[in-house]
């Protein structure tokens, strides 16, 4: 008889959320299709490119959330933190680990 691998408890359609402040909680679309499209967008541009960052926010949080966030007039570093949090959530990793990796890659790109 063949072995059965039961991963039913590991599979979920629950979406992670991003909290930016009181009443500012957004669901992150971390679906396979969105992440594949996002990967294609990122290959076409740089993580430093503001248009790529905008695309990440729009694709994962939705157009309405992207407009609300844009209206906050955040600094570039704050906006990068949002994108890092989105990518960490999509990968199922801690924010600090994703942020450290982003900063290392950012330093490499500047050299």
Beta strands in the chain (DSSP E): 17-21, 24-27
Q: Tell me: the pLDDT tens digits for 43-62?
A: 876 656 778 889 999 999 99
- Model pTM score: 0.83
pLDDT score recorded for residue 46 = 62
Q: Tell me: the pLDDT tens digits for 23-45?
A: 999 999 999 999 999 888 878 76
Q: DSSP state, 76?
A: H
Contact 70, 50 (CB under 8 A): no
The SS3 call for residue 3 is: coil
Kindly state the helix (H) or strand (E) to which residue 100 belongs, with its residue range.
helix 95-110
Beta bridge partners of 17: 27
């Amino acid at each position: 008889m063949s072995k059965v691998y039961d991963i039913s408890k590991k599979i979920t359609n629950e979406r992670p959320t991003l909290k930016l402040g009181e009443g500012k909680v957004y669901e992150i679309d971390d679906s396979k299709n969105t992440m594949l499209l996002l990967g294609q967008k990122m290959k076409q541009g740089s993580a430093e490119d503001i248009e790529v960052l905008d695309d990440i926010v729009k694709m994962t949080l939705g157009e309405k959330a992207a407009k609300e966030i844009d209206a906050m007039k955040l600094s570039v570093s704050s906006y990068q933190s949002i994108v890092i949090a989105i990518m960490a959530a999509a990968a199922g990793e801690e924010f600090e680990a994703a942020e450290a990796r982003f900063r290392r890659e950012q330093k490499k790109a500047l050299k």
